[in-house]
Structure 1
Amino acid sequence: MLNRLRSGAGRVVGPVARALLARGVSPDAVTIAGTVGVVVAALWLLPTGRLLAGTLVIALFALTDMIDGVMARTSGRTSPWGAFLDSTLDRFGDAAIFTGLLLHLVAVDERPTAGFALACLVLGSIVPYARARAEGLGMRADVGIAERADRLALVLAATFAVGVGAPVVVLTVVLALLAVASAVTVVQRMAVVRRQALAGVPPVPPAAPGAPDAGAGA
C-alpha cells in the first residue's frame, strides 16, 4: 500500500536529499542518524507515556528511510553495502518501537495489550529472517499479507490516536491484527520456500548493486 506512494514522496524529499548531498552528507550518515533518532524516541518517549510526542518524532526520523534512498540514487552511490546497512538498521528501529510500546503498556498495567506488543516484537524479527534465509539459500520468500511499511504505519497511527485521547483498545486491536498478520506471513513464507525446495527451484542470482533493498518490504 505505502510502497505505491514512494514515487510521489520521492518528489517531496528530493530537494532535501539534493541539499544534503551538496553539503557533503552521505546516504549512510542519513541512514544511521535516522535510526538513532527512531531508537532514542521509541525508548525514551514511548515508555514514559509521551505517545503523541514519540509518534511525531519517530515519524519525522522515519522519513530518512526515503531520503537516504533518493540520495543514493541521485549520487550514484547505491551498493550492496548500502542496502545491507539500511535493512539491518531497519530491524533496530522496528524493535525499538515495539519495545517502547511494550514497556509503556506494562507500566500502565495493560497486560493483554502488552502481550500483543511482545508478539509483534518477536514475530517482527522472524518475518524478515525467513525472507533473508530463503534468499541466502537461493530461493524467494517475498510474500506476505502485510509489508513492513504498512505495519509501521498502522502501529504509529494507533499510537498517535491513543496519544491524543483515544481508548487504549484502539492500540490493542491494531497490535493484535499485526501479530496475526505477521504470524500468517511467516507461515506463507515457509510454505513458499517448502514448495520451491521440493520442486528443486534453481538458485536466484544475487541482486545487482543498486537494486532495491531486499529487506525493505519484509
Structure 2
Amino acid sequence: MLNTYGRAFATRVFTPVARFLLRCGVTPDAVTIAGTVGVVACGLGLYTTGHLFWGSLGATLFVLSDTIDGTMARIRGSSGRWGAYLDSCLDRVADAALFGGLVVWFARQGASDLTAGLALACLVLGGIVSYVKARAEGLGYTANVGLAERGERIVAVLVGAGFVGLGVPLVFLQVVLALLAVASAVTVVQRMATVRRQALAAPPAGA
C-alpha cells in the first residue's frame, strides 16, 4: 500500500526536482546509484556506530531518490527494463545495508542473541519476499500482495531505529523488528499462495 500511495505522493512533490536534475545533465541511473551509496553509507557507517537517528534521517533522504530517478526516466521518456532492473537490484543492496548495520550494532552493544536474530530475520525474510515476487514474474505470474512490501519494511526500520536514536527504549525497536519479521513471513506465504492459485487455474502445458 505504501508503495502505491507513497510513490504517487512523492512523484507529485519531487517532479520539480527531477526536472531540475535533468536540466543539469544528471541521468536517472546516476541518481539511483547515488541514492544506494548514500543508504549504504548510513547503514554501514552510522547504524553500526550507534548513530541511529542520523542514520535513519540520512537514509530517508536518500531513499527518496528511488522516486526521483523513476520520475526523471518518465519525463525523459526513457523508462525501460534496464532502469527497473538496476533499481530493483540496488534496492536489495540498500535493504541489506540497513538491516545488516543493525545486526552489527546489536552485536557491538552486547545485545541478546534474540535481538540480533530479529534484525537478521528481517534481512533474510525481506530478501525472500522480493525473490518470491521476482521468480513468480519470471514464470509469467503475478504476486503483488502482502503485508510487508518494501515500502512498509523500510518505513518500519527507519522509524524504529530513528526513535531509539532519540532515546526511546531499545524494546521499541525490538518489537518493531519482531512484527516486521512476522509480517514478512506472512507476505512470503501470501505470495506463494497467490502464485499457486494462478498455477492451478492455468491450463496444463501442451493442452
Q: TM-score, normalised by structure 2?
A: 0.94
Name the counterpart of 1:29. Answer: 30
Residues 151-190 of structure 1: pairs in structure 2 closer than 5 A: 151-190=153-192
Q: CA RMSD in A?
A: 1.5
Name the counterpart of 1:78. Answer: 79
Cα–Cα, structure 1 residues 201 and 120, in superposed 2: closer, same or farther, change >3 Å? farther
Worse-superposed segment, 188-197 or 124-133: 188-197
Name the counterpart of 1:15. Answer: 16
Worse-superposed segment, 66-75 or 137-146: 137-146
Cα–Cα, structure 1 residues 50 and 193, in superposed 2: closer, same or farther, change >3 Å? same
Cα–Cα, structure 1 residues 201 and 59, in superposed 2: closer, same or farther, change >3 Å? farther
Whole-Å separation in 1 of the counterparts to 2:203 and 2:25: 45
Residues 135-146 of structure 1: pairs in structure 2 closer than 5 A: 135-146=137-148
1:120/1:175 contact within 8 Å kept: yes
Whole-Å separation in 2 of the counterparts to 1:134 and 1:5: 24
Residues 81-120 of structure 1: pairs in structure 2 closer than 5 A: 81-111=82-112, 112-120=114-122
Corresponding letter in the other structure for 1:121: L
The size of the alignment, in residue pairs, is 203
Shift of 1:190: 1.4
Corresponding letter in the other structure for 2:194: V
Cα–Cα, structure 1 residues 164 and 79, in superposed 2: closer, same or farther, change >3 Å? same
**What CA deviation, in whole Å up to 9, does each residue of 1:37-71 have, x standing for no partner?**
10111101101111111111111111101110110
Whole-Å separation in 1 of the counterparts to 2:186 and 2:130: 13
1:51/1:159 contact within 8 Å kept: yes
More helix by share: 2
Shift of 1:138: 1.1
Runs of 5+ consecutive residues of structure 1 not aligned to the other structure? 204-218
Name the counterpart of 1:128. Answer: 130
1:47/1:100 contact within 8 Å kept: yes
Whole-Å separation in 2 of the counterparts to 1:70 and 1:138: 27
Shift of 1:189: 1.3
Runs of 5+ consecutive residues of structure 2 not aligned to the other structure? none
**What CA deviation, in whole Å up to 9, does each residue of 1:66-91 have, x standing for no partner?**
11011011111101110111111101
SS in 1 for 2:47: coil
Corresponding letter in the other structure for 1:77: S
Name the counterpart of 1:191. Answer: 193
Whole-Å separation in 2 of the counterparts to 1:157 and 1:67: 21
Whole-Å separation in 2 of the counterparts to 1:155 and 1:201: 42
Cα–Cα, structure 1 residues 76 and 182, in superposed 2: closer, same or farther, change >3 Å? same
Runs of 4+ in 1 over 4 A off after TM superposition: none
Q: TM-score, normalised by structure 1?
A: 0.89
Corresponding letter in the other structure for 1:144: G
Shift of 1:196: 1.8
**What CA deviation, in whole Å up to 9, does each residue of 1:88-146 have, x standing for no partner?**
11010011100001100111122222110010011011001001111111111111112
Worse-superposed segment, 18-27 or 187-196: 187-196
The sequence identity of aligned pairs, in percent, is 61
Cα–Cα, structure 1 residues 106 and 20, in superposed 2: closer, same or farther, change >3 Å? same
Corresponding letter in the other structure for 1:73: R
Worse-superposed segment, 45-54 or 188-197: 188-197
